[in-house]
Amino acid sequence: MTTFSRIRATLWRTAIQAIPTVFGIVILVFLLLQMAPGDAVDVLAGESGGISEDGLAMLRTRFGLDQPVLVQLLIYLNNLAHFSLGYSPRYNAPVMELIMTRLPGTLILMLLSQLIAISAGIVLGAIMAAWEGKWPDRLLSLVALLLYSTPAFWIGLMALVVFSVWFGWLPSGGNITIGADLHGWDYVKDFAAHAVLPVVALAGFFVAIYARLVRASMLEISRLDFVRTAHAKGLTPFIVTVRHILRCALAPLITVAGMHFGTMLGGAAVVETVFSWPGLGRLALEAVMARDYAVLLGILLLSSLTVIVANMLVDILHAWLDPRIKANN
C-alpha cells in the first residue's frame, strides 16, 4: 500500500468513527449536565440579587427550561442536524459566534505550547538519554520532576510577578494591547509579548512528560540490534542517536502528544484565567458556573472534534513515520 492510500484510509476511518463519538459525547454530556444542581435561570436570578415570580417563569420559557429534559435534548439535536449550535439566552448571542470569537485564541495557545513542549521534550529527553546516569541526566530529571509537579497557575503567577511586575518586560494579561490598532510586524511583536508567558506556563507540565517519555524510549531502543549494527558499520554516535534512535522514539511521543491534546484544553482553562487570555477554556468554565448548557455543549462538541482531528493527524504521522503501521488495523 502506498503512503497516500494509507493516509486516505486513515481519513475515511476517522470520519466514520467521529460521527458516533460526537453523538455519544453530546448525549452523555447533556445528561450529565442535567444532574448538576440549579439551572441557568437560578444563576441569572442569583446574580441579580432577586427577581419576581413572573420574571422567573418568563426567563425559564425563554431559556427553554420549561420543557421536559428529553424535549430539550431533541431540540438540541435538531439544531445540530441543521448545523446550528443553538442560541445562548444568557449572552443574547448565537453559541457559534461566542465560540468562534474565542476558538482562535485557545488554538494558538495550545498549538504553540504543544510545539514548544514537543521540541523541548525531544531535546531534553535526548540529552538525558545520551548522558544516562551522569549529572546532566540527574539535573534534567530533577527539572522535569519540578515541572511535572508544579501547577500551571502557580508557574504562571510567578512568571507574571517576575517578568511583568519586577522587570516590567512583559504585559500582565490579555492577548493584545487593546485599542492600539497595530498592524503587520508590530501586531506580531505585541501578540508574541502577550503570548510568551501563557504559552510557557501551559507547556511546562507537558515538557516534563515528553522529556521523560523520550528518555525512556530512547534508552530502550538504544539496546536493540539495529542500533548495534549502525554503530558497527561505523556511524558516529551523534548520527546513530538522531537518525536511528530518536526517529524510532518519536512514535510513542507522537501518540502521547495526541492523547494529551484534550488534557491541554483543560490546562488552558487555568492558564487563560491567570493571564486573562480570551479563550475557550475560560468560556467553558463560565458556562459551567452559569449552567449555560448550550454554550458548554457547543464547546465540548468542538473540542471533541478538535481532539478527533488531532488524533487523526497522529495516525497519519504514524503512517508516514513507520511504514509497518497499516492504517486499517
Partner 1 sequence: MKPWFEFRHLSRIALVAVVALSASTAFAQQPKRGGTLNLILTSEPTTLVTLTTVATTTLSVSAKVSEGLLKYDYDLSPQPQLATSWTISPDGKEYTFNLRQGVKWHDGQDFTSADVAFSILTLKKIHPRGVNTFANVEEVKTPDAHTAILVLSKPAPYLIKAFAAAESPVLPRHIYAGTDPLTNPNGNAPIGTGPYKFKEWVRGSHIIYERNPDYWDKPKPYIDRLVVKFFADPAARSLAFETGEADLGYRTPVALGDLDRFKKLPNVAFETKGNSYSFNVSSLQFNLDDKHFDNARVRQAIAHALDRKIAVQVGYYGYGVVSDSPIAPGLKAYHDPSPSPYAFDLKRANALLDEAGYARGADGFRFKATLDFNPISDDFKRLAEYTRSALSKIGIDVTLRAQDLSAFVKRVYTDRDFEFTINGHSNLFDPTVGVQRLYWSKNFFKGRPFSNASHYVNPEVDQLLEDAQTEIDPVKRAALFTRFQQRVAVDVPDINLVSPQFITIHNKRVHDHSLTADGVESNLADVYLE
Beta bridge partners of 94: 87
Q: How far is the CB of 115 from partner 1 (least distance, A)?
A: 23
Residue numbers at the binding site for partner 1 (CB under 8 A) = 36-39, 42-56, 58, 62, 89-93, 97-98, 101-102, 105, 153, 157, 160-161, 164-165, 168, 171-175, 178-179, 273-276, 278-279, 282-283, 286, 289-291
User: Least distance to partner 1 from the beta carbon of 299, Å?
Assistant: 12
CA distances from 38 to 9, 46, 290 (A): 46, 11, 9
CB of 154 to partner 1, least distance (A): 10
**Strand extents, DSSP E, the chain:** 87-88, 93-94
DSSP secondary structure code for residue 234 in this structure? T
Residue (26 or 160) nearer to partner 1, CB: 160
Cα(118)–Cα(115) distance, integer angstroms: 5
Q: Smallest Cα–Cα separation from 248: which of 273, 227, 266, 228?
A: 227
> Judged by CB, which is closer to partner 1: 21, or 84?
84
Q: How far is the CB of 39 from partner 1 (least distance, A)?
A: 7
Residues 201 and 156: beta-carbon distance below 8 Å: yes
If one counts every other C-beta atom within 10 angstroms of the C-beta of residue 290, the result is: 20
In the complex, the smallest distance separating the C-beta of residue 149 from partner 1, rounded to whole angstroms, is 20
Residues in a beta bridge with 87: 94
Residue 100 corresponds to which amino acid?
M
Query: Which residue type occupies 249?
Result: A
Q: How far is the CB of 78 from partner 1 (least distance, A)?
A: 20
Nearer to partner 1, 31 or 36 (CB): 36
Nearer to partner 1, 274 or 314 (CB): 274
For partner 1, the closer of residues 25 and 295 by Cβ is: 295
Instruction: Give me 139's grid cell.
Output: 539535573
Which CB atom, from 161 or from 192, has the smaller least distance to partner 1? 161
